[in-house]
Amino acid sequence: MTFAFAFHLFLHAAVPAIVAGLFFRPDFWRAFLLMMASMLIDVDHALADPVIDPDRCSVGYHLLHNYWLILLYLVLALIPKTRLIGLGLVIHIALDWLECIR
């Protein structure tokens, strides 16, 4: 595992923790765990060959990382009842997109 990949994985936990701490402090654990649950969208990587390719951009390539679904994730982030899941999904996609521009 390269340092860059390990740092990328670290950010997938650190950023939701920071968001939960800054904006959902009274409900930190609930907010953090719901945002972390959204990381399950990476299950679509199992359909790719190879499963992990450090040179491949996930956004637009994997099934659950498609552009039309990103619009759905943004909508989910705007609806109060689905806000935390949507926010977690948007954070996940944003972090994956950062890997695409390196």
Structurally, the chain folds into a number of domains equal to 1
21 near 30, Cβ under 8 Å? no
Please give the residue range of the domain that contains residue 86. Answer: 3-100
Write down the pTM of the prediction: 0.90
What percentage of the chain reaches a pLDDT higher than 90? 63
Query: How large is the average pLDDT for residues 3-23?
Result: 93
Q: What is the pLDDT of residues 16-47, one digit of tens each?
A: 999 999 999 999 999 999 999 999 998 988 88
DSSP code, position 61? T
What is the Cα Rg of the chain in Å? 14
What's the chain's average pLDDT? 91
Confidence of residue 102 (pLDDT cuts 50, 70, 90): low
Position 18 scores a pLDDT of 98
DSSP code, position 50? S
Confidence of residue 58 (pLDDT cuts 50, 70, 90): confident
